[in-house]
Amino acid sequence: MDDKTTDLKKGTTTLGLTCKDGVVLATEHRATMGTLIAHKKTKKLFKISDNIGLTVAGLVGDAQILARYLTAEAELYQMKKGREMPLRSAATMMSNILNGRRYYPYWVQLLVAGVDGDGHHVYSLDAAGGSIPDDYVTTGSGSPYVYGVLEDHFKDGMTTSEGADLAIRALHAAMKRDAASGNGMSVAIISKKGFSELTDEDVEKRMGKMKLT
C-alpha cells in the first residue's frame, strides 16, 4: 500500500495507566478510511526501549516516523549516557518535535509511558506539542468509552496485572461501540523487569475470566 493511502488511515483507541509496579499500555488493531476498514492488523503500540513504550493515534504515516525517531533517540541516549532515557526526557523530546511542525503538523496524538529512576509515568502528547503527565489517559475515537470504564474502576495501588485486566475491559467497551476500533488488542506491561507484551492467548484468557464476550 503506498504512503498516500497509508496516511489516510485513522480512527483508533489507545490507553495508558500507571500502577504501583509499572505501567500498562494498550491499543486495538483496526485502521479505517472513512467507513472502510482498511486494515485489521495495524501496529499502534511500539517498544521504544526496555523502559519506554509508545502508542499512536492519528495518521499512520506520521505515527510510524515518530516512533522511529523516538527509538533512535532512545538508543543514542543509551549509548552516550550508559543508562536508559528518562520518561520526562523522552516526552520533552517528542514535544519539541511536534511543536517544531506547528504549520505542517504531525496529525497524531501520542502516549509515551514507562519506568525510570523517578517512578512510573504516562505522558499524553498532542499534535501541537503539549505534554501532560497523568495517572491514566486514553486517545482516539474510542476514548470516551474507555474513560467511562477508567473513571469507574481505576484505583491507586493497582498491580500491573490488575492494570492489564482494566485496560482489556476498557478497550473491550470501546470496541463494542466505536466503529473505528476493533480486530483484537495489543497490551504491554513495562516494569523494572523490562517491556513485555501479552500474547493473544493471554488476552483471551483474561477476557474469559472477566466474562467479556
Which are the catalytic amino acids? 12
Q: How far apart are CA 81 and CA 162, in angstroms?
A: 34
Asked if 51 and 91 count as a contact pair (C-beta separation under 8 A), the reply is no
Over the chain, what HEC string results? Answer: CCHHHHHCCECCEEEEEEECCEEEEEEECCEEECCEEEECCCCCEEEEECCEEEEEEECHHHHHHHHHHHHHHHHHHHHHHCCCCCHHHHHHHHHHHHHCCCCCCCCEEEEEEEEECCEEEEEEECCCCCEEECCEEEEECCHHHHHHHHHHHCCCCCCHHHHHHHHHHHHHHHHHHCCCCCCCEEEEEEECCEEEECCHHHHHHHHHHCCCC
Phi, psi of 8 (to 5 degrees): -80, -10
